[in-house]
């Protein structure tokens, strides 16, 4: 796809926002890794998003929704089709009260920590255990983000989604099919906003829990490094980081990708890492855990894109 074709898309679908051609995904992921996307679009509003969505569907152009790029590894060949970034959609609005509960309407592009901080300031309980988790609300819902016994599904009432056919529908949380670090939301579904239900609590108590959780996370995770969070899911009853550490993988590296010496389930980009080396290190670590403990680690990070631009 050429720059002229991108300009034609902007004109044909009356796109409002920012659209780029062959945009490096390394600029838009927390790992700072990733080849170019054919199209990188940031719609200004939901109407523009809808028109772009219709155009992409009619012209059989693949789309990939992106929040903050915090739990994904984009391959070195980049992403075919269009990446749609939701960074313009970040409203948090009150949506009513019901006795001891308060409801919020939250756009999917809202940074998750902004929701956590808003709840802390208001004295709303339910998401303080998500303190320190990067990414957006949409990404958190898609992957059922959680920590310290909290999961985003536990406070979710419903979501508004745009399906492959372009129709917006409200889906109840119980119909989404949540599991451990996953949901039933399809790659072709665009999550627009969510309704969140939080319990009213004392502001100082919510704040104290938040501070304790954040302190614990800072002590045990390299949250200041370029990473994508946990690379592997925890097998039932076992921390993946502990297994990786005990298999002798802490500090292991391939190229500029290294297993963190702080938390072994975090892989760090030490400067000029590439996706191919990241994947090789994943295979090496998983292999050592398998041979040592007979346990197969399942990736938590989502790997997307094409190898060397060839699909």
Instruction: Catalogue the active-site residues.
Output: 181, 230, 300
Three-state secondary structure call for residue 10: helix
CA-wise closest residue to 112 among 89, 94, 138:
138
The β-bridge partners of 92 are 106
CA atoms within 13 A on the CB side of 307: 4
Per DSSP bridges, beta strands 79-85 and 63-66 are parallel
> Contact, 41 vs 52, CB < 8 A?
yes
CA-wise closest residue to 235 among 289, 295, 177, 287:
295
Q: Which secondary structure element, helix H or strand E, spans residue 52, and what is its range?
A: helix 46-58
């Amino acid at each position: 796809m050429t720059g002229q074709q991108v300009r034609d898309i902007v004109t044909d679908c009356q796109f409002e926002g920012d659209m780029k051609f062959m945009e490096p995904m390394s600029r838009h992921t927390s790992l700072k890794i990733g080849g170019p996307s054919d199209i990188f679009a940031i719609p200004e509003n939901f109407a523009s998003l809808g028109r772009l969505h219709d155009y992409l569907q009619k012209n059989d152009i693949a789309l990939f929704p992106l929040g903050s790029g915090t739990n994904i590894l984009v391959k070195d060949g980049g992403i075919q089709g269009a990446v749609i970034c939701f960074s313009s959609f970040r409203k948090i609005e009150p949506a009513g009260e019901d006795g001891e509960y308060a409801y919020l309407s939250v756009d999917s592009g809202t940074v998750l920590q902004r929701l956590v901080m808003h709840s802390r300031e208001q004295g709303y309980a339910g998401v303080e255990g998500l303190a320190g988790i990067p990414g957006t609300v949409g990404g958190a819902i898609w992957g059922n983000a959680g920590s310290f016994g909290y999961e985003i599904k536990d406070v979710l009432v419903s979501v508004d989604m745009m399906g492959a056919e372009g129709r917006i529908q409200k889906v109840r949380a119980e119909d989404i099919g949540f599991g451990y670090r996953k949901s039933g939301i399809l790659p072709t579904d665009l999550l627009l906003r969510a309704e969140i239900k939080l319990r009213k609590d004392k502001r100082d108590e919510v704040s104290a829990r938040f501070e304790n959780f954040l302190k614990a996370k800072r002590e045990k995770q390299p949250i200041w490094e370029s990473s994508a969070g946990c690379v592997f899911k925890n097998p039932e009853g076992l921390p993946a980081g502990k297994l990786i550490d005990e298999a002798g993988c802490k500090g292991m590296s391939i190229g500029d990708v290294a297993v963190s010496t702080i938390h072994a389930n975090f892989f760090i980009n030490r400067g000029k890492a590439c996706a191919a080396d990241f994947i090789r290190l994943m295979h090496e670590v998983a292999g050592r855990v398998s041979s040592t403990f007979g346990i197969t680690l399942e990736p938590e990070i989502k790997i997307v894109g094409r190898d060397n631009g060839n699909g």
